[in-house]
Amino acid sequence: KIQAEGGAQIGSLSTADHKALYTKSIIEKRLLVALNQQDLKVSYQPQLDLNTGEIIAVEAFVRWDDKEIGTVAPDVLIPIAEETGLINNIGTFMLEQVCMQAAQWKESGLNIKASINLSVREFRDKNMAKQISSILERTNCPAELLQIEITEKFALEAEAEKSIIKQMKQLHNDGVRFVLDDFGTGYASFRYMQMLPLSQFKIDQTFISSMPYQPKTQKLVNGMIQFGKSIHMGVLAEGVETEEQKELLAEYGCDAIQGYLVGYPMDADDIEKFF
Ligand code: C2E
Ligand code: MG
Ligand code: MG
Ligand code: MG
C-alpha cells in the first residue's frame, strides 16, 4: 500500500495511476535539479491596451526544457509543483527574474509592467508579502511595475484567508497590482472580488475562442466586460488569435487583449526587439 499525500490510503493502483505516480516522481526529482542549477527560463507575452493601441504590460511564463526529460509544459509542471510544495521555489525564481528584468527595462527607458503568475497557495506562507517586498527592493524594481496574477482554482481555507488578505492588501498599498486570471472558469471569483484588492480580471481564453461563433458566448463576454466596468475593474481578454475576436472585444469596450494576434510568448531579447 502506498501512502498518498494528506495521509489517504491508496488501495490497488491502476496501470495509469502507477504511470502517473512514476512520472510525477521523476518530474519532481528533475525539477529540484533545475531549480538548483537555475535551469528554468522565463518567456514574456505582450498585452495590448485597446484604448491607446499601446503595449502596456508583459506577462511572464515559466519555461522548462530539461536535459533528460525534455520540455515540460506549465500545465503539467505547475500542478505537480503545487502538490510537492516546489511551487514556492518556482514563485521565488520567477519573482527574482522578472523584477530584475523589469528594473533593467526601466533603466533602458522601457517602462512596462510585468505580470507574474502566483498560486494563491503561496500566500499561505505568512512571509510571502515580506519576501516580495525584499525582492522588489533588492532588484531595484518599483512596486508599480509588478502585477501578480492569481487564479481561482482553489477555495481558500478559512484559517489561511485572513493572512492571505492581509498580505495582499499590504502589497497593494505599496503599489503592486493584483489580477484575477482565468475569470469564469473557477468557482471562487465573486468571493475573491469581494475580499481581495484586485485591479483587473482576465476573461479566460475558452470564452474568447468560441465567441465569434456562439451568440450566447458573445453575450457572456459582453456581460463580463460591462460587469467589470460597473465595479471599476479593468478587463483583459486572453487567447485572442483573430482580428474578428479583437474587433468584437473593442466593440464591447474591453480594456486590453493578449494572445497570439498581438504576440507569442518570447524571451526578453525578443521583447526588446518587439518594442
Ligand atoms: P495563464 O496564466 O492563463 O496563461 C495563458 C496561457 O495561454 C499560456 O500558456 C500562454 O502561452 C497561452 N497563450 C497565450 N496566448 C494564446 C493564444 O492566443 N492562444 C492559445 N491557445 N494560447 C495562448 P502556458 O505558458 O503554457 O501556461 C499555462 C498556465 O500555466 C498559465 O495560464 C498559468 O496558469 C500557468 N503558469 C505558467 N507559468 C507559470 C508560473 O511561472 N507560475 C505559476 N504559478 N503558474 C504558471
Ligand atoms: Mg496568467
Ligand atoms: Mg489565464
Ligand atoms: Mg490559464
pLDDT at 21: 78
Task: Decide: 239 in ligand 1 pocket, CB within 6 A.
Answer: yes
End-to-end CA distance of the chain: 56
pLDDT band of residue 190 (cuts 50, 70, 90) is confident
- For residue 52, give every residue at least 6 positions away whose Cβ sits within 8 Å of its Cβ, in sequence order, or none: none
Q: Which atom of ligand 1 lies at the shortest distance from residue 238's CA?
A: 15
pLDDT at 188: 66
User: For residue range 198-254, what is the model confidence (pLDDT) as tens digits?
Assistant: 999 999 999 999 998 899 999 999 999 999 999 999 999 999 999 999 999 999 999
Candidate from 90, 117, 119, 122 with most ligand 1 atoms within 8 A of CB, to mutate: 117
Task: Decide: 107 in ligand 1 pocket, CB within 6 A.
Answer: no
Question: What is the ipTM metric for this complex?
Answer: 0.98
Instruction: Check pLDDT > 90 for residue 157.
Output: no
pLDDT band of residue 15 (cuts 50, 70, 90) is confident
For residues 206 and 212, what is the distance between their CA atoms, to the nearest angstrom? 12
* Helix-then-strand count for the chain, H and E: 10, 12
Instruction: Check pLDDT > 70 for residue 90.
Output: yes
The interaxial angle of helices 87-107 and 128-139, nearest 10 deg, is 30
pLDDT at 4: 44
pLDDT at 2: 41
Stretch 61-71: mean pLDDT = 95
Q: Is the CA virtual torsion 60, 61, 62, 66 positive or negative?
A: negative
Report how far ligand 3's centroid is from the alpha carbon of 9 (Å): 34
Say which residue, 72 or 151, is predicted with more confidence.
72
Report how far ligand 3's centroid is from the alpha carbon of 145 (Å): 19
Instruction: Check pLDDT > 90 for residue 20.
Output: no
Can you tell me whether residue 274 is helix, strand or coil? helix
For residues 102 and 115, what is the distance between their CA atoms, to the nearest angstrom? 10
For residues 95 and 101, what is the distance between their CA atoms, to the nearest angstrom? 10
Q: What percent of the chain has pLDDT over 70?
A: 92
Closest CA to 249 of 260, 258, 257, 241: 257
Show the cell assigned to 234.
479593468
Q: Which ligand is nearest to the CA of 59?
A: 2
Report how far ligand 3's centroid is from the alpha carbon of 206 (Å): 9
Give CA separation, 54 vs 51, 171, 241, 255, 256, in Å.
8, 26, 18, 11, 10
What's the mean pLDDT when you consider all of the chain? 91
Task: Decide: 241 in ligand 1 pocket, CB within 6 A.
Answer: yes
Instruction: Check pLDDT > 90 for residue 256.
Output: yes
User: For residue range 129-154, what is the model confidence (pLDDT) as tens digits?
Assistant: 999 999 999 999 999 999 999 987 76
Q: Is 12 exposed, middle or buried (0-12, 13-18, 19+ CB in 10 A)?
A: exposed
pLDDT band of residue 155 (cuts 50, 70, 90) is low
| Nearest CA, atom 3, ligand 1 | 182
Closest CA to 149 of 125, 184, 183, 194: 183
| Nearest CA, atom 23, ligand 1 | 239
pLDDT at 191: 82
Q: Is the CA virtual torsion 61, 65, 71, 77 positive or negative?
A: negative
Instruction: Check pLDDT > 70 for residue 9.
Output: no
Task: Decide: 74 in ligand 1 pocket, CB within 6 A.
Answer: yes
